[in-house]
């Protein structure tokens, strides 16, 4: 087995939005930082699974996600790779943030390397070595075989809590009553969509778009269109045998580029993202549904007649799988009551948004306008391993709370805080559970973060 001679301060496993921001946060705080990522680029679901737009950086008019995640968008906007935060025309949340995928891959790499961080691509976590309450090394699978890597503190940003699970951290999965997870979705990137035709159709058919509550002129409030609906057309297609899986609406979002649209409509139910055999079957079912949706869109939806399906990405989108059981588990009631915590490290104004694990339907609990909920540091820290921080969608939250915190701006903010905490744990030579929350908050503010504690 190869062994890297470098002992890193911080190794982040997983280079999605939470891992990238964790690594940038740690490196800017002075830690010698490495990101290990299974693909050949950063961004996770945003760049590997066609997820987009980022939603939402706001709670009412207040931008509650700032810091390095906000900076990423500012930098991309300057280069014409994002229109920035624009009004959400679906009527679902406050703002959405479209972006150019290739631009994001490169910008994340630049932010990381400018901060002094390093990258190891095409490396998948294979094994975790522990000694008592410490992770002593990880082993990754690479093109040159197995490779051992060591660090003082590890950050699990795999989305699935792979590192935590390998290290023996207690984890839960899915809905408390039966373990069922939100469905997966094979996202589709379509080009050559005539979005003016889509806008005209919406204005002339308000009853197709119940989410807009009759106010179809909303769709002109943003430079890019986001829309969920076509409910009658969908019913017609279903009756004709042209749409054959449980989904209540057609949902899509215009991306940064003219004529480019991200379709979020397939619904892949009953598979397990943590079981490689089941995960493989989910990919195949997702692709089957994607081609069905492609045919449906071209036949039934105005503006899609000449569209081209250009991409389903290297991976199906996974909304939820394992969650670590941390020192605190954020709950649905905490989200609804906007419970405050002394160790808050991130906020979100996103609603509770749960795609039904049972079939059709998406539960959507809209918060009171302008309010936001609070995520405490203790959700990132487990009770078994003293040098492991978890960031991303697998932090310690219950099924309902996960529906509110899981989206990408929030996960970027949580990641940055986790990376900063990892750097402090190294500098102060303390277990991650003993890192002073005040210090994390101060450093987060110094790094441009938004906190209201
Ligand atoms: C279908 C779908 C639609 C969504 N729509 C939106 C939306 O419109 N807007 C929005 O903001 N959010 C949306 N989300 C939510 C959002 O995409 C995720 O919750 C978010 O990306 C989670 O970020 P993360 O960093 O925790 O994980 P991920 O983005 O999943 O990143 C994890 C990273 O770790 C890597 N990795 C995983 N395991 C290993 C391993 N063992 N070894 C090495 N590397 C590994 C992966 O390759 C990946 O790069 C959607 C999610 C899905 C699935």
CA triple 317-322-328, angle to 5 deg: 125
Same domain, 392 and 327: yes
Cβ distance 87 to 217 under 8 Å? no
Q: What is the end-to-end Cα distance of the chain in Å, rounded?
A: 47
Q: 276 lies in a domain?
A: yes
Q: Which DSSP string corresponds to 367-383?
A: PSTT--EEEEGGGGBBS
Same domain, 291 and 427: no
Region 6-27: what's the mean pLDDT? 97
Is the pLDDT score of 4 beyond 90?
no
pLDDT digits (tens, 9 = 90+) for 271-289: 999 999 999 999 999 999 9
Query: Is 135 in a helix, a strand, or coil?
Result: strand
CA of 310 to the centre of ligand 1 (A): 21
Query: Is 102 in a helix, a strand, or coil?
Result: helix
Region 57-78: what's the mean pLDDT? 98
Q: What does the alpha-carbon distance between residue 65 and residue 53 come to, in Å, rounded to a whole number? A: 15
Neighbours of 231 (CB within 10 A): 16
Tokens 């009759």 map to which residue? 214
CA triple 398-91-335, angle to 5 deg: 25
| Ligand 1 atom closest to residue 392's alpha carbon, by position in its atom list | 26
Cβ distance 35 to 112 under 8 Å? yes
Q: What is the pLDDT of residue 50?
A: 92
| Ligand 1 atom closest to residue 16's alpha carbon, by position in its atom list | 31
CA nearest 182: which of 411, 363, 365, 408? 363
Select from 16, 184, 227, 394 the residue to mutate for testing ligand 1; criterion: most ligand atoms less than 8 Å from CB.
16
Share of the chain above pLDDT 70, in %: 100
Is the pLDDT score of 133 beyond 90?
yes
Query: Is 212 in a helix, a strand, or coil?
Result: helix
Q: How many domains does the chain have?
A: 2
CATH number at residue 413: 3.50.50.60
> Among 23-32, 210-219, 221-230, which range has the highest average pLDDT?
23-32
Same domain, 24 and 60: yes
Neighbours of 313 (CB within 10 A): 18
Cβ distance 404 to 373 under 8 Å? yes
Ligand 1 contacts CB of residue 269 (under 6 A): no
Identify the residue whose C-alpha is closest to ligand 1 atom 5.
51
pLDDT digits (tens, 9 = 90+) for 226-244: 999 999 999 999 999 999 9
96, β-bridge pairs: 86
Q: Are strands 58-59 and 188-191 parallel, antiparallel or unpaired?
A: unpaired
Same domain, 296 and 330: no
Q: Which residues of 41-53 are buried (b: 16+ CB within 10 A; e: fewer)?
A: bbbbbbbbbbbbb
Ligand 1 contacts CB of residue 21 (under 6 A): no
Same domain, 195 and 151: no
Structure pTM?
0.97
Region 444-449: what's the mean pLDDT? 98
Retrieve residue 320's tokens: 């939820």
pLDDT digits (tens, 9 = 90+) for 304-347: 999 999 999 899 999 999 999 999 999 999 999 999 999 999 99
Q: What is the pLDDT of residue 83?
A: 96
Q: 368 lies in a domain?
A: no
Query: Is 392 in a helix, a strand, or coil?
Result: coil
Is the pLDDT score of 91 beyond 90?
no
Q: What does the alpha-carbon distance between residue 153 and residue 423 come to, in Å, rounded to a whole number? A: 8
Same domain, 117 and 208: no
Stronger pLDDT, 225 or 4, i.e. the higher one: 225
The domain boundary residue, chosen from 311, 340, 358:
311
Ligand 1 contacts CB of residue 408 (under 6 A): yes
Same domain, 43 and 158: yes
Same domain, 194 and 274: yes
CA nearest 431: which of 132, 212, 67? 132
Ligand 1 contacts CB of residue 157 (under 6 A): yes
Average pLDDT score, the chain: 96
Q: 90 lies in a domain?
A: no
Q: What does the alpha-carbon distance between residue 374 and residue 189 come to, in Å, rounded to a whole number? A: 33
Ligand 1 contacts CB of residue 159 (under 6 A): yes
Same domain, 139 and 162: yes
Region 137-160: what's the mean pLDDT? 97
Region 21-31: what's the mean pLDDT? 98
Same domain, 255 and 218: yes
Which range marks the domain in which residue 277 is found? Answer: 188-311
Confidence tier at 268 by pLDDT (50, 70, 90): very high
Cβ distance 372 to 404 under 8 Å? no
| Ligand 1 atom closest to residue 415's alpha carbon, by position in its atom list | 25
Same domain, 390 and 409: yes
Same domain, 346 and 425: yes
Region 160-170: what's the mean pLDDT? 98
Select from 13, 45, 251 the residue to mutate for testing ligand 1; criterion: most ligand atoms less than 8 Å from CB.
45
CA of 239 to the centre of ligand 1 (A): 34
Helix (H) or strand (E) holding 122: none
pLDDT digits (tens, 9 = 90+) for 393-429: 999 999 999 999 999 999 999 999 999 999 999 999 9
The domain boundary residue, chosen from 286, 311, 336:
311
């Amino acid at each position: 087995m190869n062994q890297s001679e470098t002992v890193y301060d911080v190794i982040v496993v997983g280079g999605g939005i939470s891992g990238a921001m964790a690594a940038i946060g740690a490196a800017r705080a002075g830690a010698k930082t490495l990101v290990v990522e299974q693909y050949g680029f950063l961004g996770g679901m945003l760049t590997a699974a066609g997820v987009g737009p980022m939603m939402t950086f706001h709670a009412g008019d207040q931008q509650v996600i700032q810091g390095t995640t906000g900076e990423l968008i500012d930098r991309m906007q300057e280069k014409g790779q994002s229109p920035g935060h624009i009004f959400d025309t679906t009527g679902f949340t406050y703002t959405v943030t479209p972006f150019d995928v290739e631009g994001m891959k490169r910008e994340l790499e630049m932010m990381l390397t400018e901060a002094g961080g390093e990258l190891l691509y095409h490396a998948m976590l294979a094994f975790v070595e522990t000694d008592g309450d410490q992770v002593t090394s990880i082993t990754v699978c690479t093109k040159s075989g197995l490779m051992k890597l060591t660090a003082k503190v590890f950050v699990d940003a795999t989305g699935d809590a792979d590192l935590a699970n390998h290290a023996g951290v207690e984890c839960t999965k899915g809905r408390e009553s039966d373990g069922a997870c939100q469905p997966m979705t094979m996202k589709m990137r379509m080009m050559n969509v005539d979005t003016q035709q889509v806008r005209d159709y919406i204005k002339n058919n308000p009853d197709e778009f119940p989410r807009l509550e009759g106010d179809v002129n909303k769709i002109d409030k943003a430079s890019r269109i986001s829309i969920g609906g076509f409910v009658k057309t969908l019913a017609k297609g279903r009756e004709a045998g042209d749409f054959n899986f449980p989904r209540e609406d057609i949902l899509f979002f215009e991306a940064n580029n003219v004529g480019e649209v991200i379709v979020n409509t397939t619904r892949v139910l009953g598979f397990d993202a943590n079981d490689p055999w089941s995960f493989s079957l989910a990919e195949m079912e997702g692709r089957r549904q994607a081609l069905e949706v492609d045919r449906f869109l071209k036949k039934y939806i105005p503006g899609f007649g000449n569209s081209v399906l250009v991409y389903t990405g290297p991976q199906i989108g996974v909304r939820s799988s394992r969650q670590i059981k941390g020192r605190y588990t954020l709950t649905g009631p905490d989200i609804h009551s906007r419970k405050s915590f002394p160790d808050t490290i991130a906020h979100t104004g996103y609603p509770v948004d749960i795609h039904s694990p049972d079939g059709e339907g998406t539960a959507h609990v809209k918060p009171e306008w302008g309010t936001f909920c609070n995520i405490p540091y203790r959700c990132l820290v487990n009770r078994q391993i003293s040098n492991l921080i978890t960031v991303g969608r697998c932090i310690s939250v219950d099924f309902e709370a996960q529906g509110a915190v899981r989206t990408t701006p929030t996960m970027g903010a949580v990641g940055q805080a986790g990376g900063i905490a990892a750097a402090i744990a190294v500098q102060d030579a303390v277990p991650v559970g003993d890192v002073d929350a005040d210090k994390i908050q101060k450093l987060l503010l110094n790094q441009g973060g938004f906190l209201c504690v």
